[in-house]
Amino acid sequence: MGLISLARFGLLVRRTKHVARWPRDAIARLQEKRLRIMLRHAVAHSPFYRELYRGIDVNRVRLQDLPTVTKPTLMARFEDVVTDRSIRKEDVEKFVDNPANLGHLFQNKYVLSHTSGSQGQPLLLVQDTDQLKLLFAMQVTRGNPRKITVGEALRRFTSPTRLAVVTLQRGFYPSASAFEYVPREAKRFMNILRLSQTEPDLIERLNDFRPEVLTAYSSVLHELAAAAMTGKLKLAPELRQVVSNSEVLTAQARANVEKAFGLHVMDNYATGECMFLATGCTHTTGAHVNADWAILEVVDEQNRPVPDGMAGRKVLVTNLGNCIQPFIRYEVPDVVTMSPDPCPCGSALPHVASIGGRAADELWVLDAGEYHNVPILIFQEALLHAREVYEWQVDQTGPRKLLIRVQAVPGTTVDLARVRMLFDQKLRSYRLQDYVDFEVMTVDTLGPSGASKFRQTIGTVRPPHPPAHEQKAEPVLAGAG
């Protein structure tokens, strides 16, 4: 890594830091400028967007007058959406199917990942390395409770921050893969330890590492907080920052974690399609939309804007940085409420007050009087490699029995034997094979029935004392992953 690249990263960090304190109208002008650049680029280089915006003057059209896009549409037209004509869907699929490729660049220049599949067929994601530099520049500045000074930067250059990242398992899903592609420039200031929730010596390794920053799913933080309360996990006094991402964090869960560690919990909110969408506030609850590089529209079911202070039915995400795979007014089924008032922390960036998350329920099985949580990620990861599956649903039919219904992509047939094998492998990797019995069947359609909303998982077992991280009815902040 040369001094020039390091200096450029330093300039990016400096600019990222200052923009958050700009007046709102200045941020809005920068956002508008980057939106027009993105629209012109998409029309010029993406056959999909050129067709979608035919007859529209992208230099004048209002954002809210543009059509929305969805995951099924973008996946069906994948090669027409991407702006690099050398990218082929088949090549991308082969790359992410091979675990050995994790941490390596596709075509020596692109970072690949995939959405979780919590809402049907996963979406393959392509971005360049500049997006990761931007993501970590935001984490270093807007996601850092400490003031970034020249002296602090020099101190971290010689004594890098110890960052522990605990995910479910390594993989190409965004919340985990981002840490596989940390830019070299950022790595110079961070010593990163990546851990899996399933590792039997997780507590011991954290105690040995003594992280200054701990980032994990809310469910993982809940378990670590319990270990801290009993004295098994001892991270004080080195630990100075705790970050939750990818799952709903309830008020009760936040209170438990903050009590256990004696620290404010930052709660990031992002999507795989825009990983730098919003950064958790360093002083209070909620998150700040990084409006210089992203647009978040809170809308109702008909895509009409919802007033601040009122919960929407979904959000429309526009990523102003990804020119390789443009996401413009991309529909995400998150229930978000924007704050009608400025954030007490003083940031001029829009403040996300709360998000209710998505409709997926947690799954628990009961075996010999013991409750075992079955992570939704098991199904998401297994079906990532069964791309003939368009939609899926898990129905609990007994204390330890699950019925998995799958719907095929039109024109294809689901290989049930292979799907069973994929599920079996995932259950074993999470050491749940002795507690779960499952069946897999194909159905013609999966979706809402009558007035009821479609439920990805239908669980019937609940522990007598639900964990504090379990999703409640009240709106809470989460990082959707």
For residues 427 and 295, state if they share a domain: no
Whether the pLDDT of residue 413 is over 70: the answer is yes
> Which DSSP string do the residues of 405-467 spell out, in sequence order?
EEEEPTT----HHHHHHHHHHHHHHTT-TTT-EEEEEEES--S--TTSPP-SEE-----SS--
What is the pLDDT at residue 480?
34
d(CA 32, CA 57) in angstroms, rounded, equals 15
What tens digit of pLDDT does each residue of 275-289 get?
A: 999 999 998 889 999
Check the CA dihedral 422-428-431-436 and report its sign: positive
Is residue 471 assigned to a domain? no
Considering 303, 324, 355, which residue would you say is the last residue of a domain? 355
For residues 41 and 64, state if they share a domain: yes
Q: Write the CATH number for 380.
A: 3.30.300.30
**Could you tell me which residues are beta bridge partners of residue 243?**
215, 266
Contact 326, 306 (CB under 8 A): no
Considering 297, 332, 355, which residue would you say is the last residue of a domain? 355
Is residue 481 assigned to a domain? no
Considering 355, 373, 406, which residue would you say is the last residue of a domain? 355
d(CA 435, CA 157) in angstroms, rounded, equals 47
Range of the domain at 254: 3-355
d(CA 423, CA 436) in angstroms, rounded, equals 11
Whether the pLDDT of residue 452 is over 60: the answer is no
Q: State the pLDDT confidence band at 383, using cuts at 50, 70 and 90.
A: confident
For residues 316 and 451, state if they share a domain: no
For residues 249 and 370, state if they share a domain: no
Q: What backbone phi and psi angles, to 5 degrees, belong to 145?
A: -70, -15
What tens digit of pLDDT does each residue of 39-62 get?
A: 999 999 999 999 999 999 999 999
For residues 122 and 226, state if they share a domain: yes
Give the total number of structural domains in the chain.
Answer: 2
For residues 279 and 375, state if they share a domain: no
Q: State the pLDDT confidence band at 233, using cuts at 50, 70 and 90.
A: very high
What tens digit of pLDDT does each residue of 139-166 get?
A: 888 988 877 666 666 677 778 999 999 9
What is the pLDDT at residue 467?
43
Looking at residue 65, what DSSP letter applies? Answer: G
| Biggest CA pair distance of the chain | 65
For residues 165 and 237, state if they share a domain: yes
List of residues 6+ apart from 278 with CB closer than 8 A: 268, 269, 270, 287, 288, 289, 290, 294, 296, 352
Angle between helices 416-429 and 377-384 (to 10 degrees): 130
Is residue 81 assigned to a domain? yes
Contact 347, 21 (CB under 8 A): yes
Q: State the pLDDT confidence band at 249, using cuts at 50, 70 and 90.
A: confident
For residues 342 and 379, state if they share a domain: no
Q: State the pLDDT confidence band at 117, using cuts at 50, 70 and 90.
A: low
Is residue 479 assigned to a domain? no
Distances (CA, A) of 463 to 10, 363, 459: 49, 10, 11
What tens digit of pLDDT does each residue of 74-98 get?
A: 999 999 999 999 999 999 999 999 9
Average pLDDT over all residues of the chain = 86
What is the pLDDT at residue 381?
77
Is residue 191 assigned to a domain? yes
Q: Write the CATH number for 74.
A: 3.40.50.12780
Angle between helices 218-229 and 202-209 (to 10 degrees): 80
Percent of the chain with pLDDT over 90: 55
Provide the 3-class DSSP secondary structure of residue 475: coil
Is residue 228 assigned to a domain? yes
What is the pLDDT at residue 153?
67
Between the ranges 155-169, 307-321, 439-453, where is the mean pLDDT highest? 307-321
Q: Fill in the amino acid letter for 280.
A: G
For residues 276 and 391, state if they share a domain: no
Mean local confidence (pLDDT), 387-393: 81
Is residue 480 assigned to a domain? no
What is the pLDDT at residue 472?
31
For residues 323 and 387, state if they share a domain: no
Is residue 253 assigned to a domain? yes
For residues 394 and 292, state if they share a domain: no
For residues 88 and 113, state if they share a domain: yes
Distances (CA, A) of 35 to 53, 68, 157: 14, 15, 35
